[in-house]
Every structure is written in structure tokens, then in C-alpha cells.
Amino acid sequence: MRAPFLATALLLVVVALPAIAGSLEPFAGSFKGSGTARAKPADAAETARCRVTGALSDDKLTLKQTGQCAIPGHKVDIGGTVKLDPASGRLTGTWRDVATGRNGSLSGRFDGAAMQLTMVVTNPGAGEPSTYFMAVTPSGSGYTMVSRAPGGGEPLASITFRK
């Protein structure tokens, strides 16, 4: 399993950028995503495809998502939850990879319309960073997710989602 791609895929499932800052409503429903991902910063980028389905709680402050992402030869079943604190704009949540048992937490804040997030991996694989950074930015009827390992460099993943 490609650990950094896996971590990125997991985070993108539990996090979706609302068109209106502070609202998770635009991310209820089904999305398809495509873009690129790499296992390590030095690896060549590969095609990535994802499907994500999200459901909002009655109070519209919690989004539960499930989905699947794939790169050539690898499929990852993923799920998680993100919660919005409407008073502070803080986002918190959890993610998991159903197949491998990898999991972790996430936190972040809105920066204008975009979310800036930190993902912590509770049980990283050998040589895998325990923290990733992600920017999720609105784009038309969807959003673009870009993740990076600590220290920056080329994105580990760059995926655009559409309804």
C-alpha cells in the first residue's frame, strides 16, 4: 500500500470544503475526483481516481463520509467524520482506512474560503511521516485538494472533485 497516498486519500474523504465558509452542506451527496498522487515526494505522480459519499447530521455540523480511492494497482476503502465548531470555525475529525486499519485525527481552520488542515497519522508505516498538511480550495461546483508532506516540495496528491 502506498502510505502517503493512503493518508492523503483518507483525509480527502473526511474533509470537504464548503462553498460558503463554515458550512458542510455543499459536501453532502456524491462526488467523483481525479488527479495525481505519489507514494513519496521523489516518486513519479500517478493517476488517482476517487468516489466519495457524504451525509450530514440533522444539525448540519457533522459530515460522515465513505468512499474509495485508487491509483494503478491499489484501491483504498476509506471513511471518517469531520465536525465544524460554528463559533470558532475550527474543524476536527477522524479518518480510517478500513482495509489496513490505519487511522488518525485532523484539525484545521478556514482561511477565507479555503481550509488549511493538519492530519496526524496515529499508526504510520515505516518511514512514513506522522503529519501531513492539506489545502482544500473551492473550484466551480466542487473543490481541489492538495496535500504535502512536512517540508513542502511537490504535492503528494492533487485531486479535483465534482458532483
Question: What does DSSP assign to residue 27?
Answer: G
Contact 119, 130 (CB under 8 A): no
Pick left, alpha or beta for residue 130 (phi over 0 → left; psi -120 to 50 → alpha; otherwise beta).
Answer: alpha
Tell me the C-alpha distance between 37 and 159, whole Å: 8
Angle at 113 between CA 108 and CA 117, to 5 degrees: 20
How many structural domains are present in the chain?
1
Q: Which domain holds residue 72?
A: 3-162
> Burial, 19: exposed, middle or buried (Cβ in 10 Å; 0-12, 13-18, 19+)?
middle
- List per-residue pLDDT tens for the chain, 163 residues long: 444 454 444 444 444 433 345 577 777 788 999 999 886 677 889 999 999 888 989 999 998 989 998 988 778 888 889 899 988 889 999 988 776 777 889 999 877 777 788 989 887 776 667 888 988 777 778 788 899 988 877 898 899 999 9
> 68 near 50, Cβ under 8 Å?
yes
Residues belonging to the chain? 163
- Which CATH number is 105's domain given? 2.40.128.20
The Cα–Cα gap between 146 and 6 comes to 14
Predicted confidence at residue 108, as pLDDT, reads: 93
Assign 3-class secondary structure to 103-153: EEEEEEEEECCEEEEEEEECCCCCCCCCEEEEEEEEECCEEEEEEECCCCC
CB count, 10 Å around CB of 106?
23
Dihedral angle sign, alpha carbons of residues 160, 148, 114, 107: positive
